[in-house]
Amino acid sequence: MIDLWAWTTPNGRKVSILLEELELPYEVHAVDITNGEQHAPEFLKVSPNNKIPAIVDRETGMALMESGAIMVYLAEKTGRFLPAAGEPRYRVM
Ligand SMILES: N[C@@H](CCC(=O)N[C@@H](CS)C(=O)NCC(=O)O)C(=O)O
Stated pTM of the model:
0.95
Domains and CATH numbers, the chain: 2-92 (3.40.30.10)
Q: Which pLDDT score is estimated for 93?
A: 85
Torsion of CA 63, 64, 70, 74, to 10 degrees: -10
- Rounded Cα distance, 30 and 21, in Å: 20
Q: Which residues line ligand 1 (CB under 6 A)?
A: 9, 11, 33, 38, 50-53, 66-68
Mean confidence (pLDDT) of the chain? 97
Q: Which pLDDT score is estimated for 51?
A: 98
> Looking at ligand 1, which atom is closest to the CA of residue 9?
10
- pLDDT tens across 49-77, in order? 999 999 999 999 999 999 999 999 999 99
State the distance from the centre of ligand 1 to the C-alpha of 12, rounded, in angstroms. Answer: 8
- As a 3-state breakdown, the chain gives helix, strand, coil percent values, each rounded to 5, of 45, 20, 40
